[in-house]
Copies of this chain bind each other. A is one copy, B any other.
Amino acid sequence: FLGVPFTGLIIYSMMTGEITKTESPTIAEKDALLKRGGDVTEQSPMRLRMEKFIKQHQKQIVAGLEKVDGQKFQVDTWQRPEGGGGITCVLQDGNVFEKAGVNTSVVYGRLPRAAIQKMRVNHKALDPDVESVEFFAAGLSMVLHPSNPMAPTVHLNYRYFETADENGKTNAWWYGGGCDLTPCYLFDEDAIHFHKTIKAACDKHDKSYYPRFKKWCDEYFNNKHRGESRGIGGIFFDDLDETEKDQEQLFAFAQDCLSAFLPSYVPIINRRKNMPFTEREKQWQQIRRGRYVEFNLVHDRGTAFGLNTPGSRVESILMSLPLTARWQYMHSPEKGSREERLLEVLKKPKEWV
């Protein structure tokens, strides 16, 4: 990111041939300058603190997963021409993971009027009378699809969003994210362990968080067209801003959630990764992966936002899709089977703790 010049400060007008100086630097320019100046501390803007934090955690998680799998992730670092960039780590055809992606991205850009109108529903600080505002977004997102049908897929995403006024001062800001588990075969002890670990992280901050965000997760990760949940849930939240808690408290909450990931998932994957399975069980996993694809491509707002953003890195967005999937017409599990039990739980989400 070093070496980004103050491109926004001097605007050459194609229309008039004039060169204009704008009043103040963009947040992208401010941040580039700050980064050249030295380390990110607690006094730095939240943008830089969030970026530092997700990159640190990306390294820890990748290292933790490499220990589980025995193979190394492929690391791709990329830049957005419009500002920002990211690091995409993917492990494909591993010993444990058929496909695992851990991605961080940092985006600087401008939101058009239509997008501001939509976001104002939740963030009244946004000025409805401007044509566009500068924004910043940083997040870590991750999807792990293990090969073994007894081992569950897991998804995680934590993100920070902020807009700036014309003077580069923070205007609206909020946190969003969550983590959820998608098994093909249900092991109650896994579901309980996963939810318990997340609940403990939530409870440290607010006893109301886990029940509220667990419900939000069940509602969000739902394949409405099939009337079934994508998986057995976890937590999901969005638009957490100053009306919820102050910025430091919410940042601490996001940090604790992210730190809870490895303890919530590693014991599960280690229990399941070498379990025996049949060809029929592998087929069921493939069908469930088809449902995963359906949710991500039809319902997921993040995927839709990414695919509709010009210049987005499609391979980083769609790393969430499984390596393989299957759509079998009118497939229906046998009465009394484990497959049928999963469907029952997906149709009527359970309380696990």
Chain A residues numbered 310-353 whose CB sits less than 8 Å from any CB in chain B:
312, 314-315, 318-319, 321-330
Contact A326 B323 (CB under 8 A): yes
| CB of A76 within 8 Å of the partner chain | yes
Question: In the complex, what residues of B have CB within 8 A of residue A314's CB?
Answer: 225-226
Q: 8 smallest A-B Cβ distances: which pairs?
A: A297-B297, A321-B327, A225-B307, A90-B329, A324-B326, A297-B298, A325-B325, A315-B330
> Chain B nearest CB: distance from A326 CB in Å?
5
Instruction: Report which A residues bind B (CB closer than 8 A).
Output: 74, 76, 90, 92, 99, 101, 225-226, 286, 290, 293-294, 297-298, 304, 307-308, 312, 314-315, 318-319, 321-330
> Chain B nearest CB: distance from A352 CB in Å?
28
Residue of B nearest to A226 (CB): B314
Question: In the complex, what residues of B have CB within 8 A of residue A322's CB?
Answer: 327
Chain A interface, DSSP helix/strand/loop, else mixed:
mixed
Residue of B nearest to A296 (CB): B297
Contact B323 A319 (CB under 8 A): no
Contact A315 B297 (CB under 8 A): no
In the bound assembly, the distance between CA atoms of A304 and B74 in angstroms comes to 35
Residue of B nearest to A297 (CB): B297
Question: In the complex, what residues of B have CB within 8 A of residue A318's CB?
Answer: 294, 327
Residue of B nearest to A324 (CB): B326
Question: In the complex, what residues of B have CB within 8 A of residue A307's CB?
Answer: 225, 298
In the bound assembly, the distance between CA atoms of A286 and B326 in angstroms comes to 11
Question: In the complex, what residues of B have CB within 8 A of residue A286's CB?
Answer: 324
Given the contacts A225-B307, A226-B314, A307-B225, A329 and B294 also touching, CB distance less than 8 Å: no
Contact A76 B330 (CB under 8 A): yes
8 pairs, A vs B, C-beta closer than 8 Å: A99-B329, A226-B314, A290-B321, A294-B297, A298-B304, A298-B307, A315-B330, A323-B326
Question: In the complex, what residues of B have CB within 8 A of residue A101's CB?
Answer: 329
> Chain B nearest CB: distance from A28 CB in Å?
24
Contact B92 A328 (CB under 8 A): yes
Q: Which of A307, A323, A329 has the most CB of B within 10 A?
A: A329
Question: In the complex, what residues of B have CB within 8 A of residue A312's CB?
Answer: 225
Contact for A328 among B225, B293, B308, B323, CB less than 8 A: B323
